[in-house]
Amino acid sequence: MSKQQTITLNNGVQMPRLGLGTWQSPAGQVEKAVEHALKSGYRHIDAALIYQNQEEVGRGIKNSGVPREEIFLVSKANHHQQAARIGLTGALLGTDYLDLWLIHWPVPFQPGPDLSPLTSDGSQTIIDRQAPSIVDTWKAVVELYANGKGKIRAIGVSNFTEKHLEMIIDATGAIPAVCQIEAHPGLQQKGLEAYGKAKGIHFTAYSPLGNNITGQPRIVDSEQVQKIAEEIPADPAQVLIAWILAKGFSVIPKSVTPSRIESNFQEIELDRRHVDTITELGKNNPMRYNTPYLYHPQWDIDVFDSPEEKGASVKVW
């Protein structure tokens, strides 16, 4: 498989399958990371309004010298009609168009100057319980895409479940081009994958190595993955990236370290035996690393209908 391999989305737009993620990238390091990635051959950069580093991403793109039209640039904003309009501008990224825009989470935060508004004691992120439904927001996104005069080349969602996808598709008939989800061997969502495939939705994997903000051990550091990597031989991160690509997904591993950025972009092939071994490893060790109800500060909302979220006071609407 070529590391420059692309996927054709359901609206005909082509997207490189291997990109650079920028979530959790430390401030002051993102600009150089993006610049180095593009100079190393990457052509897919994933950003988001809530990461609060889009200006650095934009500078990295500019400094790379790679023409904007050669770069597939993704951005995201949380579910809310006003937030959608802000996220679609692309202004912070220094561009007048986006290749892909996603509803980041089916969760609306209280509107205001803070992207993540907190309660007075700082223990919870404030959910806007009077916000429009995800259907209303998706309708607004579809309208902006249709009337955007090329400002957005494709639209989609992130962190949506099969139920959430059904809600917006059944109500509007508009099918997202992409659904970005946490995906790695420990989180194999067969029902969601099957539904997406039937609808022509492409999946992009974030946290493919198990990166998280709750301090849980990463799957890339597990003894089993390390052993498989030694056997191939390859870097453990390369093994998990190759496993994701073998599923037909796109993938956006994050790094700000030049050598790691380069290593993640190197091509390796897994044989069927290794793919199956890694798949079974994940089935035997299931793990979702990114559940907002378990965050600190907590999001008091049930997104994934998991046992861990049963104490949440509200579900996605």
Question: pLDDT tens, 189-201?
Answer: 999 999 999 999 9
pLDDT score recorded for residue 214: 76
Contact call for residues 95 and 68 (beta carbons, < 8 A) = yes
Task: Give the mean model confidence (pLDDT) for residues 85-94.
Answer: 74
- The CATH number of whichever domain residue 222 belongs to comes to 3.20.20.100
Looking at residue 2, its pLDDT comes to 43
Residues 301/315, Cβ–Cβ less than 8 Å = yes
Phi, psi for 133 (deg, rounded to 5): -75, 170
Residue 314 lies in a domain: no
Residue 315 lies in a domain: no
Stronger pLDDT, 22 or 80, i.e. the higher one: 22
Residue-range definition of the domain harbouring residue 290: 6-309
pLDDT the model gives residue 75: 95
Mean of the pLDDT values across residues 154-170? Answer: 98
Q: Is the pLDDT assigned to residue 177 strictly greater than 60?
A: yes
**pLDDT score, position 142:** 96
- Residue 59, H or E segment: helix 54-64
- Cite the annotated binding site by residue number: 104
E strands present in 207-306: 250-251, 298-299
Alpha-carbon distance of 176 to 247, in angstroms, equals: 19
Whether pTM > 0.85 for this model: the answer is yes
Instruction: Report the alpha-carbon distance of residue 257 to residue 169 in Å, rounded.
Output: 40
Q: For the packed helices 272-284 and 223-231, what is the interaxial angle rounded to 10 degrees? A: 180
Q: Is 1 part of a structural domain of the chain?
A: no
Averaged pLDDT, 151-165: 97
Q: How many domains does the chain have?
A: 1
Ramachandran category for residue 157: left, alpha or beta (phi over 0 → left; psi -120 to 50 → alpha): beta
- In the residue annotation, 295 being an active-site residue is answered as no
Confidence of residue 143 (pLDDT cuts 50, 70, 90): very high
- Percent of the chain at pLDDT exceeding 90: 80
| Rounded Cα–Cα distance for residues 5 and 13 (Å) | 13
Q: Per-residue pLDDT tens for 262-279?
A: 999 998 989 999 999 999
What is the average pLDDT value for the chain, to the nearest integer? 93
Q: Which residues contact 220 (CB under 8 A, 6 or more apart)?
A: 209, 210, 236, 237, 240
Q: Going by C-beta distance under 8 Å and a sequence separation of 6 or more, which residues neighbour residue 127?
A: 107, 108, 109, 110, 299, 300, 301, 314
The answer to whether residue 150 is domain-embedded is: yes
pLDDT at 83: 67
Q: Does 297 reside within a domain?
A: yes
Copy the structure tokens of residue 255.
């790094």
d(CA 279, CA 284) in angstroms, rounded, equals: 9
**Does a structural domain hold residue 89?**
yes
Q: Rounded to an integer, what distance in angstroms lies between the CA atom of residue 157 and that of residue 177?
A: 8
Joined together, the tokens standing for residue 157 give 């969602």
Q: Judge whether 78 and 105 are in contact, CB under 8 Å.
A: yes
Instruction: Read off the pLDDT of residues 110-137 as tens digits, 9 standing for 90 and up.
Output: 988 888 999 999 999 999 999 999 999 9
Average pLDDT rounded to a whole number, residues 47-71: 95
Q: Which residue has the tokens 């007075």?
A: 120
Which residues belong to the annotated binding site for substrate?
Answer: 104
Residue 262 lies in a domain: yes
**pLDDT tens digits for range 271-314:** 999 999 999 989 988 999 999 999 999 999 999 999 999 999 99
Task: Write down the catalytic residue from 42, 51, 195, 206.
Answer: 51
Instruction: pLDDT band for 216, please (50, 70, 90 cuts).
Output: confident
Burial 42-59 (b: 16+ CB within 10 A, else e): bbbbbbbbbbebbebbbb
What is the pLDDT, as a whole number, of residue 119? 96
pLDDT tens track for 9-24? 999 999 999 999 999 8
Work out the pLDDT band at 82, boundaries 50, 70, 90.
low
CB 48 within 8 A of CB 73: no
- C-alpha–C-alpha distance, residues 27 and 50, integer Å: 13
The confidence score (pLDDT) of residue 115 equals: 86
Residue 250 β-bridge partners: 204
pLDDT score of 243? 97
> 40 in a domain, yes or no?
yes
